[in-house]
Amino acid sequence: MKLDELTAISPLDGRYRKRIEALSKFFSESALIQYRIQVEIEYFIELLNHKSTQIHPLNPDQIALLRSIYLNFSLDQARRVKEIEQRTNHDVKAVEYFIKEQLEKLGVNGLSQKQEFVHFGLTSQDVNNTAIPLMIRDALQEVILPRLRSLTEYVLELGDNWKEVPMLARTHGQPATPTTVGKEIHVFAKRLMLQLAELEDISIPAKFGGATGNLNAHYVSFPSIDWDTFADEFVEKKLGLSRSFPTTQIDHYDGLSRIFDCFCRLNSILVDLCQDMWLYISQEYFLQRIRKDEVGSSAMPHKVNPIDFENAEGNAALSSAILGFLSRKLPVSRLQRDLTDSTLLRNIGTGISHFYLALSSVSRGLGKLQINEVTIQADLNHNWAILAEAIQTVLRKEGYPQPYEALKALTRGKSVIDQTHLQNFIRALDVSAEVKAQLLELRPDTYIGNAGG
């Protein structure tokens, strides 16, 4: 059966394909092949041309021609690599043979005779553990971070827009000391900003050290060359990654775990934001802009469901399940290497794609919100009992006997405590006229502390 959005098993390649298509450039099978070729070609160039080796110095035209192998890589060429893999039953060896084919086709003077320096001294994980970090880095820089910055800025903007709108807070689901809508939104903006800054600053690790991490084959072939310095310079200066050292045959993946854990924290923030928005919508603090032909329920015509926040919550939770598992499992490998990491690494894009879906859905959901100040104000007006905190605290300052207990007796468990009840209580207090005047000025919509900024 031909792969189609309607025949795909994974919803990422089916239902959600158009929404995450930007990530296909980094996390598809073709992309992985292309990044492997990039690593092999750049290593080949560096090996031939490096000041310490000078195996076959290259001119700029030759370097450009070699780089064209991965820069102009096509889907047909990816299929050719997969054909070779059918014969070799080894994906990285197939890449090596493909590059050698291309060297023959290019006909670059003298390079076909140097083709055994393709993949020289390397193990497959030197290629995978640099190609995959490159994929992650580029996906972050080109797709994920711009979308995350955009969402963070929008959440901050909403907080600014609503910072003066007083709102009843709810702790344990019960009416509590008032806040403002904007301040509560700013909480999420700040949390996102902190994780965004960490993700922007995080180093992307790569392993490059031969069969067991010691560059044995390199040193036995060219004993006079400082191969560790060569590897450091290649990984850090040419590829722009951070070289892990020492390692076994594979990267220890602690650095990737740090990245995945950052994604998991971001997912937790998104889930928290989605659940709060869902509850505010259910309380009608927010209304949702609707599209004429959109259906909220197949049975109940009146409904406008908060589906964007529900979709985002589900995708964020799934992303954390995948990336959290990878964070825990990848750093664990028997002795110098077992193969469990090989198949797991192919699921990085899946975890990141579900995060990207969550970002998109949250953005769409927030864009539909319309604040309902009438309902918000009515809720405040219905809950004058929340001023008990303010009254008993002022009375404590004045040395009034057992103020907490007095307010508890007045308010706790009472079905209605309105402005009249509370102000009659204040007027009967044995305190100065000045204190009474201060307390009588209290209102639920003005008792907000510094929440308004």
Closest CA to 144 of 226, 25, 230: 25
Q: Collapse the DSSP code of 390 into the 3-class scheme (helix H, G, I; strand E, B; otherwise coil) and give the result.
A: helix
Q: How far apart are CA 98 and CA 126, in angstroms?
A: 17
CB atoms within 10 A of CB 79: 11
Catalytic residue among 68, 112, 203, 297: 297
β partners of residue 371: 286
User: Which position has the token pair 């992303």?
Assistant: 319
The rounded distance, in Å, linking the Cα atoms of 233 and 437 is 73
Q: How far is CA 137 from the centre of its chain?
A: 13
Token pair of 390 as six digits: 């303010």
Per DSSP, the three-state class of 13 is coil
> Which residues touch 248 (CB under 8 Å, ≥6 apart)?
212, 213, 333, 335, 336, 337
Element (H, E) at 169: strand 166-171
CB-CB contact of 271 with 194 (8 Å): no
**112 a catalytic residue:** no
Residues forming beta bridges with residue 40, ordered by sequence position:
none
Whether 150 is catalytic: no
Q: Return the closest-CA partner of residue 217 out of 197, 231, 236, 237.
A: 231
- Which amino acid would we find at residue 94? A
H or E element at residue 179? strand 174-180
Q: Which of 90, 172, 298, 360 is catalytic?
A: 172
Give the catalytic positions in this structure: 172, 297
